[in-house]
Chain A
Amino acid sequence: EVQVVESGGDLVKPGGSLRLSCAASGFNFDNAWMNWVRQAPGKGLEWVARTHSRISGGTTAYAAPVKGRFTISTDNSKNTLFLQMNSLQVDDTGIYYCSLGGGYGGQGTLVTVSS
Protein backbone atom coordinates (compact mmCIF):
# COMPACT_ATOMS: atom_id res chain seq x y z
CA GLU A 1 0.00 0.00 0.00
CA VAL A 2 1.30 3.43 -0.94
CA GLN A 3 1.51 5.95 1.86
CA VAL A 4 2.37 9.60 1.34
CA VAL A 5 2.96 12.18 4.04
CA GLU A 6 3.52 15.86 3.42
CA SER A 7 5.13 18.02 6.10
CA GLY A 8 6.89 21.31 6.66
CA GLY A 9 3.99 23.72 6.47
CA ASP A 10 3.97 26.60 8.92
CA LEU A 11 3.06 30.23 9.55
CA VAL A 12 5.65 32.49 7.96
CA LYS A 13 5.96 36.19 7.31
CA PRO A 14 5.97 37.63 3.79
CA GLY A 15 9.44 37.32 2.32
CA GLY A 16 10.22 34.26 4.40
CA SER A 17 11.12 30.72 3.36
CA LEU A 18 9.86 27.20 3.97
CA ARG A 19 10.87 23.74 2.84
CA LEU A 20 8.10 21.22 2.32
CA SER A 21 8.69 17.47 2.29
CA CYS A 22 6.70 14.62 0.82
CA ALA A 23 7.74 11.20 2.10
CA ALA A 24 6.48 8.10 0.31
CA SER A 25 6.49 4.43 1.19
CA GLY A 26 5.32 1.53 -0.93
CA PHE A 27 5.85 3.65 -4.04
CA ASN A 28 8.46 3.13 -6.72
CA PHE A 29 10.36 6.37 -6.35
CA ASP A 30 12.88 5.36 -8.94
CA ASN A 31 10.98 6.30 -12.07
CA ALA A 32 8.03 8.63 -11.70
CA TRP A 33 6.72 12.08 -12.42
CA MET A 34 6.05 14.04 -9.25
CA ASN A 35 4.13 17.23 -8.68
CA TRP A 36 3.31 19.77 -6.04
CA VAL A 37 -0.22 21.13 -6.10
CA ARG A 38 -1.79 23.75 -3.84
CA GLN A 39 -5.22 24.95 -2.85
CA ALA A 40 -5.86 28.42 -1.49
CA PRO A 41 -8.68 28.75 1.04
CA GLY A 42 -12.01 28.34 -0.70
CA LYS A 43 -10.41 28.02 -4.12
CA GLY A 44 -9.69 25.30 -6.66
CA LEU A 45 -6.58 23.23 -7.20
CA GLU A 46 -3.52 24.91 -8.68
CA TRP A 47 -0.52 23.08 -10.12
CA VAL A 48 2.75 24.39 -8.70
CA ALA A 49 5.73 22.37 -9.93
CA ARG A 50 6.84 19.03 -11.39
CA THR A 51 9.93 16.93 -11.73
CA HIS A 52 10.96 13.39 -12.57
CA SER A 53 12.80 11.16 -10.15
CA ARG A 54 15.14 9.66 -12.74
CA ILE A 55 15.48 11.96 -15.74
CA SER A 56 18.19 14.46 -14.98
CA GLY A 57 18.49 17.96 -16.33
CA GLY A 58 15.68 20.11 -17.64
CA THR A 59 12.87 18.14 -16.18
CA THR A 60 11.71 20.64 -13.59
CA ALA A 61 8.94 23.04 -14.45
CA TYR A 62 7.01 25.63 -12.50
CA ALA A 63 3.79 27.55 -12.66
CA ALA A 64 4.29 31.19 -13.56
CA PRO A 65 3.36 32.57 -10.10
CA VAL A 66 6.15 30.61 -8.38
CA LYS A 67 8.85 30.48 -11.03
CA GLY A 68 12.12 31.85 -9.70
CA ARG A 69 10.99 31.54 -6.07
CA PHE A 70 10.25 27.83 -5.62
CA THR A 71 12.52 24.85 -6.28
CA ILE A 72 11.35 21.24 -6.57
CA SER A 73 13.77 18.40 -5.93
CA THR A 74 13.97 14.77 -4.86
CA ASP A 75 16.10 12.57 -2.63
CA ASN A 76 15.56 9.16 -4.17
CA SER A 77 17.57 7.45 -1.42
CA LYS A 78 14.99 8.66 1.09
CA ASN A 79 11.92 8.39 -1.15
CA THR A 80 11.26 12.05 -0.50
CA LEU A 81 10.13 14.96 -2.65
CA PHE A 82 10.85 18.54 -1.59
CA LEU A 83 9.63 22.02 -2.35
CA GLN A 84 11.88 24.89 -1.31
CA MET A 85 9.83 28.05 -1.15
CA ASN A 86 11.56 31.41 -0.96
CA SER A 87 10.30 34.99 -1.04
CA LEU A 88 6.91 33.82 0.13
CA GLN A 89 3.92 36.01 -0.57
CA VAL A 90 0.47 36.22 1.01
CA ASP A 91 -0.98 34.63 -2.14
CA ASP A 92 1.10 31.51 -1.50
CA THR A 93 -1.15 30.69 1.45
CA GLY A 94 -2.89 27.36 1.12
CA ILE A 95 -2.71 23.63 1.54
CA TYR A 96 0.13 22.04 -0.41
CA TYR A 97 -0.22 18.49 -1.68
CA CYS A 98 2.27 16.31 -3.45
CA SER A 99 1.03 14.08 -6.25
CA LEU A 100 3.24 11.15 -7.18
CA GLY A 101 3.06 9.08 -10.32
CA GLY A 102 -0.53 8.18 -11.05
CA GLY A 103 -1.79 10.59 -8.43
CA TYR A 104 -0.82 9.19 -5.06
CA GLY A 105 -1.02 11.89 -2.44
CA GLY A 106 -1.37 12.61 1.23
CA GLN A 107 -3.33 14.87 3.52
CA GLY A 108 -1.39 17.96 2.57
CA THR A 109 0.47 20.52 4.65
CA LEU A 110 -0.77 24.02 5.45
CA VAL A 111 1.30 27.05 4.54
CA THR A 112 0.17 30.38 5.91
CA VAL A 113 1.94 33.56 4.83
CA SER A 114 0.91 36.49 6.96
CA SER A 115 2.45 39.39 8.80
Chain B
Amino acid sequence: QVVVTQEPSLTVSPGGTVTLTCGSSTETVTSGQFAFWFQQKPGQVPRTLIYDTNNKHSWTPARFSGSLLGGKAALTLSGAQPEDEAVYYCLLSYSDVRVFGGGTKLTV
Protein backbone atom coordinates (compact mmCIF):
# COMPACT_ATOMS: atom_id res chain seq x y z
CA GLN B 1 0.00 0.00 0.00
CA VAL B 2 1.61 3.18 -1.23
CA VAL B 3 1.55 6.18 1.07
CA VAL B 4 2.03 9.67 -0.34
CA THR B 5 3.28 12.19 2.18
CA GLN B 6 2.85 15.95 2.34
CA GLU B 7 3.60 18.51 5.02
CA PRO B 8 0.41 18.84 7.11
CA SER B 9 0.74 22.60 7.30
CA LEU B 10 3.00 25.42 6.19
CA THR B 11 3.00 29.16 6.70
CA VAL B 12 4.35 31.78 4.32
CA SER B 13 4.46 35.55 4.62
CA PRO B 14 2.75 37.64 1.95
CA GLY B 15 5.20 38.09 -0.91
CA GLY B 16 7.31 35.22 0.34
CA THR B 17 8.28 31.92 -1.23
CA VAL B 18 7.35 28.46 -0.04
CA THR B 19 7.84 24.94 -1.38
CA LEU B 20 5.38 22.14 -0.75
CA THR B 21 6.62 18.60 -1.27
CA CYS B 22 5.06 15.27 -2.15
CA GLY B 23 6.91 12.07 -1.34
CA SER B 24 6.30 8.40 -1.98
CA SER B 25 6.75 5.61 0.57
CA THR B 26 7.88 3.13 -2.04
CA GLU B 27 10.20 4.95 -4.39
CA THR B 28 11.78 8.20 -5.45
CA VAL B 29 9.27 10.36 -7.23
CA THR B 30 10.17 10.80 -10.87
CA SER B 31 8.46 12.17 -13.97
CA GLY B 32 6.95 8.71 -14.29
CA GLN B 33 4.63 9.50 -11.37
CA PHE B 34 3.10 12.35 -13.45
CA ALA B 35 2.50 14.43 -10.33
CA PHE B 36 -0.61 16.58 -10.15
CA TRP B 37 -1.17 19.45 -7.74
CA PHE B 38 -4.68 20.55 -6.73
CA GLN B 39 -5.71 23.64 -4.83
CA GLN B 40 -8.84 23.68 -2.70
CA LYS B 41 -10.04 26.82 -0.96
CA PRO B 42 -12.61 26.58 1.84
CA GLY B 43 -16.04 25.70 0.50
CA GLN B 44 -14.80 25.45 -3.06
CA VAL B 45 -14.22 22.73 -5.62
CA PRO B 46 -10.64 21.54 -5.99
CA ARG B 47 -8.92 22.77 -9.12
CA THR B 48 -5.84 21.50 -10.85
CA LEU B 49 -2.85 23.83 -10.78
CA ILE B 50 -0.13 21.55 -12.14
CA TYR B 51 -0.22 18.31 -14.12
CA ASP B 52 2.47 15.91 -15.26
CA THR B 53 4.99 17.33 -12.79
CA ASN B 54 5.39 20.84 -14.21
CA ASN B 55 2.66 21.70 -16.70
CA LYS B 56 0.34 24.60 -15.94
CA HIS B 57 -3.21 25.28 -17.01
CA SER B 58 -4.36 28.58 -18.43
CA TRP B 59 -5.83 29.46 -15.05
CA THR B 60 -2.70 28.64 -13.05
CA PRO B 61 -1.16 31.83 -11.67
CA ALA B 62 2.40 32.31 -12.90
CA ARG B 63 3.68 32.38 -9.32
CA PHE B 64 3.05 28.63 -9.01
CA SER B 65 5.49 26.12 -10.47
CA GLY B 66 5.96 22.36 -10.29
CA SER B 67 9.20 20.39 -10.23
CA LEU B 68 11.06 17.41 -8.86
CA LEU B 69 13.20 18.16 -5.83
CA GLY B 70 15.25 15.81 -3.69
CA GLY B 71 13.35 12.70 -4.77
CA LYS B 72 9.95 14.30 -4.33
CA ALA B 73 7.48 16.26 -6.38
CA ALA B 74 7.41 19.91 -5.40
CA LEU B 75 5.08 22.86 -5.76
CA THR B 76 6.74 26.23 -5.33
CA LEU B 77 4.82 29.42 -4.72
CA SER B 78 6.87 32.55 -5.33
CA GLY B 79 5.33 35.81 -4.17
CA ALA B 80 2.51 34.44 -2.04
CA GLN B 81 -0.79 36.30 -2.04
CA PRO B 82 -3.52 36.15 0.60
CA GLU B 83 -5.79 34.41 -1.89
CA ASP B 84 -3.32 31.50 -2.06
CA GLU B 85 -4.38 30.37 1.39
CA ALA B 86 -5.82 26.91 0.76
CA VAL B 87 -5.24 23.18 1.08
CA TYR B 88 -2.97 21.74 -1.58
CA TYR B 89 -3.13 18.09 -2.59
CA CYS B 90 -0.69 16.16 -4.69
CA LEU B 91 -1.58 13.06 -6.69
CA LEU B 92 0.94 10.48 -7.87
CA SER B 93 0.48 7.76 -10.48
CA TYR B 94 1.70 4.22 -10.12
CA SER B 95 1.34 1.29 -12.49
CA ASP B 96 -2.22 0.50 -11.49
CA VAL B 97 -3.39 3.19 -9.16
CA ARG B 98 -3.23 6.83 -8.29
CA VAL B 99 -2.71 8.00 -4.72
CA PHE B 100 -3.40 11.36 -3.13
CA GLY B 101 -1.36 12.86 -0.39
CA GLY B 102 -3.10 13.99 2.77
CA GLY B 103 -2.91 17.64 1.79
CA THR B 104 -0.95 20.66 3.01
CA LYS B 105 -2.83 23.50 4.62
CA LEU B 106 -1.05 26.66 3.53
CA THR B 107 -1.49 29.78 5.60
CA VAL B 108 -0.49 33.13 4.14
Contact = CB atoms under 8 A, between A and B. Distances in A.
Interface string A63-102: 1100000000000000000000000000000000101001
Contacts of B45: 97, 105-108
A84 B48 CA distance: 25
Contact of A102 (B1, B55, B96, B100): B55
Contacts, number: 50
A47 B98 contact: yes
B102 interface: yes
A103 B48 contact: yes
Given A44-B100, A45-B89, A105-B48, 14 more contacts: A35-B98, A39-B46, A44-B87, A44-B89, A44-B102, A45-B38, A45-B46, A45-B103, A47-B91, A47-B97, A50-B97, A103-B57, A105-B46, A107-B45
